[in-house]
Chains A and B, each alone.
Chain A
């Protein structure tokens, strides 16, 4: 069974740029997997951030952007702020269903 892979953790300095990735244990991620990204702060409900690879949901700051980089989907934060520290999950559409990555815990310090 194909696994969706994400970095377990990442750290970025305030004002810095960071790119989180979403890959496959076998194969490459393309736009045909309709990558989406969800932010979850501890104890809170997940919030939809990016869908269809690079479309920001309503209210998401434009410092967040989605793309395909090489063989992975990517979420880039440009000019990170302290409250961007959260868990970020990617989801790929595969085989008629959805598969979550394991999530990346982003620390801003």
Chain B
């Protein structure tokens, strides 16, 4: 069983829709990361959080430490949000990655 599970694996939505991507983990962590991988392969860190909620523009990330669960929300989605969104957790001196959620926003 993967230590970090994401759902859904693939998501297609219309422009403007509210998007939710979920992440569950089974190990003790010091922080959880949400990353975006562009179609060209580059990886950008979106959020790092260890409790509560963070917001940056149209992106919101929440974490529930007790339930070992995090969500990434995108409001007013746009075709340029199309990418793979990766949940990863910091454990000791390494990061464990989920398999990613491929998001496709249709114009």
Whether A and B are associated in the same complex: the answer reads: no
Q: Which residues of A contact B (CB under 8 A)?
A: none
